[in-house]
């Protein structure tokens, strides 16, 4: 029997609101010089995020939080087909738009990044696909691994060709996390990890820009004014912030020195203005949000809800790690945003939908009989 609908998990909602509020506050500061230089309005990016990110994101969050998430399971195939169609449309002249050498945008009356919505669409498909299979089926090659890799492979190829390796890695990681919870053998993940390492090595070898990024990751000092400029400016920002920062609004690197200052690089501005202590606090709150989503997924008795919650938690966690790790030199710059903090309406809206679904999952009665411990 289906449980009665309850209230949204308060801890999850509290962590989410805290991250969004802090993100908007830092976006207002980080994007000021760039907004004034491009549009003669230092609050341009902040207002754009409010109008095209927060407003529709909040509406969609509320809608999906009250919608019975189990209804989405019926549209899993539509979600997969829709995801593939969105990625294919990028290559159609007049619809796809190229920015910075990458064809990652669509213009369908409004401009948006389809890969951000593919993240949630493909997770819905994967969760429904896993929920329909018994545990022993998920552990077989013919009924489990091969069909899973086929659908995942199509999405991967379309993202690699854009190129959008960062989003591809996030989707792969989130999908594998859901599959792992479904009971797939650990040996498969070891084999897939080795295959992924081989694929990354091949992509680096075949594409000059990826090779340049990897070389910069290993030796950022070799070309400080060229390919290494981005990471070196990030180092300067983070290093100059110290423990307690230069103070809100007092970043020096945001004055047109640090590339993508409102997007991929906003963590560097946070570290510069607010210091290591606040940067670590932000990471901790995002970590608590991810953990709470895992708890919500574990508490629900519905397999579809469990797999979907785990996938969304992995998505937020992996994307956060990729963004911050690239800013502190633990991995090459990937181009992925910091969830709910970086500028970008597509990413904000897509993640708002995902968190609305998590809120819906948390409203199941089963959760209120589960342990509330961390």
Q: What is the pLDDT of residue 217?
A: 60
Residue with the bigger pLDDT between 374 and 127: it is 127
CB atoms within 10 A of CB 79: 22
Torsion of CA 351, 353, 357, 363, to 10 degrees: 100
Q: Is the pLDDT of residue 102 over 60?
A: no
Nearest to 49 by CA among 25, 79, 69, 65: 25
**Residues 354, 310: Cα–Cα separation, whole Å:** 11
Q: What is the pLDDT of residue 3?
A: 47
CB atoms within 10 A of CB 243: 10
3-class secondary structure, 206: helix
Range 274-289 average pLDDT: 97
Tell me the pLDDT tens digit for each residue of 292-344: 999 999 999 899 999 999 999 999 999 999 999 999 988 887 788 999 999 99
C-alpha of 288 from chain center: 16
Dump the DSSP string for 273-342: HHHHHHHHHHHHHHHHHHHHHHHHHHH-S-HHHHHHHHHHHHHHHHHHHHHHHHHTTSS----PPPTTTS
Tokens of 39: 């549009």
Tell me the pLDDT tens digit for each residue of 289-302: 999 999 999 999 89
Q: Is the pLDDT of residue 214 over 70?
A: no
Angle between helices 10-30 and 266-299 (to 10 degrees): 170
Q: 329: exposed, middle or buried (C-beta count within 10 Å: 0-12, 13-18, 19+)? A: middle
Extents of the domains making up the chain: 10-367
**Residues 4, 26: Cα–Cα separation, whole Å:** 39
3-class secondary structure, 329: coil
DSSP assignment, residue 337? P
3-class secondary structure, 374: coil
DSSP assignment, residue 8? P
Q: Is the distance from CB of 75 to CB of 129 less than 8 angstroms?
A: no
pTM of whole model > 0.85? yes
């Amino acid at each position: 029997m289906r449980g009665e609908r309850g209230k949204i998990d308060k801890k999850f909602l509290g962590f989410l609101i805290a991250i969004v509020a802090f993100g908007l506050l830092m976006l207002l500061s980080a994007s000021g010089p760039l907004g004034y230089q491009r549009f003669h309005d230092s609050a341009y990016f902040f207002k754009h995020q409010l109008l095209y990110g927060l407003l529709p994101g909040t509406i969609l969050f509320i809608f999906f939080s009250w919608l019975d998430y189990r209804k989405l399971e019926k549209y899993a195939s539509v979600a997969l087909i829709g995801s593939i169609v969105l990625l294919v449309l990028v290559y159609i002249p007049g619809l796809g738009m190229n920015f910075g050498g990458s064809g990652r945008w669509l213009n369908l009356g409004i401009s948006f990044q389809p890969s951000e919505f593919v993240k949630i669409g493909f997770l819905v498909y994967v969760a429904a696909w896993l929920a329909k299979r018994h545990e022993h089926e998920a552990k077989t090659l013919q009924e489990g691994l091969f069909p899973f890799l086929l659908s995942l492979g199509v999405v991967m190829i379309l993202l690699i060709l854009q190129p959008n390796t960062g989003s591809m890695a996030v989707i792969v990681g989130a999908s594998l996390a859901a599959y792992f919870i479904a009971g797939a053998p650990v040996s498969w993940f070891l084999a897939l990890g080795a295959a992924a390492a081989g694929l990354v090595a091949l992509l680096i070898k075949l594409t000059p820009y990826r090779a340049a990024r990897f070389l910069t990751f290993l030796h950022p000092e070799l070309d400080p004014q060229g390919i290494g400029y981005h990471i070196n400016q990030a180092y300067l920002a983070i290093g100059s912030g110290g423990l307690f920062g230069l103070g809100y609004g007092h970043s020096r690197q945001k004055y047109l020195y640090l590339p993508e200052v409102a997007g991929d690089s906003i963590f560097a501005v946070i570290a510069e203005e607010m210091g290591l202590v606040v940067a670590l606090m932000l990471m901790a709150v995002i970590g608590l949000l991810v953990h709470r989503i895992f708890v919500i997924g574990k508490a629900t008795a519905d397999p579809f809800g469990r797999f979907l919650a785990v996938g969304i938690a992995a998505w937020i966690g992996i994307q956060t790690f990729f963004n911050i790790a690239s800013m502190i030199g633990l991995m090459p710059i990937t181009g992925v945003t910091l969830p709910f903090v970086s500028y970008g309406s597509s990413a904000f809206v897509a993640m708002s939908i995902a968190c609305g679904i998590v809120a819906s999952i948390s409203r199941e009665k089963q959760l209120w009989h589960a342990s509330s411990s961390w």
